Structure 1
Amino acid sequence: MADDRIDLVIFDCDGVLVDSERLAVRVDALMLAELGWPLTEAEIVERFVGRSHRDLTAAIEQQLGRPLPEGWYDRYRPWYRSAFEAELTAVDGIIEALGLITLPSCVASSNTHPGLRHSLGLTGLYSRFEGRIFSASEVEHGKPAPDLFLHAARALGADPARCVVVEDSRFGVEAARAAGMRAFGYYGGLTPRAWLEGPGTVVFDEMRDLPELLLGGF
């Protein structure tokens, strides 16, 4: 498929390409409880899904009223890796959708580059996007700020007004709107549909429908 109105399709990773958020939130709850900030999985989804590791760290430090020690996350990284290696899959229908989308595309995620290599590698998707993967660690402000999406568009020579973003978090669709990009909000995961609805956004719950939705535009 192609649409000459679109210069670039920007995919979020977690919850859009890889079905990682259920696993990550489960481990988040264990980690936060051990750190002294017990939250329910629903609270974690509302506060943190779609945000960067830097934002998570800042929130924990604010809640605890003290800085976390250097390398604090090293203890917990293996928890996530083990969960992902045991259970991570691609989002249902995304392989079929990607097979039909011939538009230029990239990944722009709140995850780190090592995390992206790991999760996309486990699901066989890394080679589809290699060289076109952008992390919030590359910009000053993560989602819901527009920085990451604008950075990806600039790096690939795309006009932001002719970019579309495929997201599954409210922070992600807010970032797309702030960047002046159209958004496709996928609510087939943890985020309720109502959190994604808004101006310049099409919401959908079946990833196999994405190629046709891109052709339909707004």
Structure 2
Amino acid sequence: MIKAIELVIFDCDGVLVDSERLAVRLQVELGAELGWPLTAHEVVERFIGRSRESIVEQIAERLGAQTAGLWWELLIQRHRDAVDLALDPVDGLPEALDGIAALALATCVASSGSHEKMRHTLGRTGLYGRFEGRIHSASEVSRGKPAPDLFLHAARRMGVDPAACAVVEDSAPGVRAARAAGMRAFGYSGGPSPAERLEGPGTVVFDDMRRLPELLAAH
């Protein structure tokens, strides 16, 4: 028997805050500056949804550890500056959160980003208070996405059976991690990741965040 959904686990970048387009642009710029020309498509394929360790490892293999460290340092600095200039919640996200609250479902965040980064982006968009105390980072587990560790960790901390969890993600590693954790995966294709990158067995793909409450209710 399929368990009813009790907990909705949100990724942060690209799902709660509209930051993935910004991150893709910055990664393309840094690649051009530091010696690894990348297209936006290649950045999405290689980096989006991955942990810091995974991204830095890929850059180090290509350009060396010193350049990889500089790349990440510049990325953090430029991302923070850009967020301070302008960052909004994902379109339709506030309405989706209100609809999920009406369904009496618990929520939390589980992201590859650091706690510091999430405090900044969620704070900048006025969302931090809606998740405070229920925010989990890949820094808390040994393996990042696409391994299931982060989502299983979030479920344990929230006291919910993984089978009663739904994950809202916008990256291929994220939806794979959700499926590996035995959770229902909802792939948001309204950002840089195309729908075909999110499709897979048991994944519901959607492009309008306002539809999320009705999709959760139906699954």
What TM-score do you get using the length of structure 2 for normalisation?
A: 0.93
- How far apart, CA to CA, are the structure 2 residues paired with 1:56 and 1:35? 15
1:46-78 Cα distance to aligned partner (Å, 9 max, x none):
1111111111101000112x3237963334422
* 2:145 is aligned with 1:146: no
Q: Aligned-pair distance for 1:195?
A: 1.1
* 2:207 is aligned with 1:205: yes
Q: Aligned-pair distance for 1:200?
A: 1.3
Aligned to 1:28: 27
- How far apart, CA to CA, are the structure 1 residues paired with 2:31 and 2:142? 25
Unaligned 5+ runs, structure 1: none
Whether the 8 Å CA contact 2:147–2:177 is kept in 1: the answer is yes
Whether the 8 Å CA contact 2:56–2:68 is kept in 1: the answer is no
Number of aligned residue pairs: 213
Q: Aligned-pair distance for 1:100?
A: 1.6
Equivalent position SS for 1:68:
helix
Q: Relative to structure 1, is the Cα distance of residues 76 and 205 closer, same or farther in structure 2, using a 3 angstrom cutoff?
A: closer
- How far apart, CA to CA, are the structure 2 residues paired with 1:5 and 1:93? 24
What TM-score do you get using the length of structure 1 for normalisation?
A: 0.93
- How far apart, CA to CA, are the structure 2 residues paired with 1:210 and 1:195? 19
Aligned counterparts, 1:1-218, within 5 A: 5-64=4-63, 66-68=64-66, 72=70, 73-102=72-101, 103-217=105-219
- State the superposition RMSD in angstroms: 1.5
Q: Percent identity?
A: 62
Unaligned 5+ runs, structure 2: none
Structure 2 counterpart of 1:196, one-letter code:
L
Q: Relative to structure 1, is the Cα distance of residues 70 and 21 closer, same or farther in structure 2, using a 3 angstrom cutoff?
A: closer
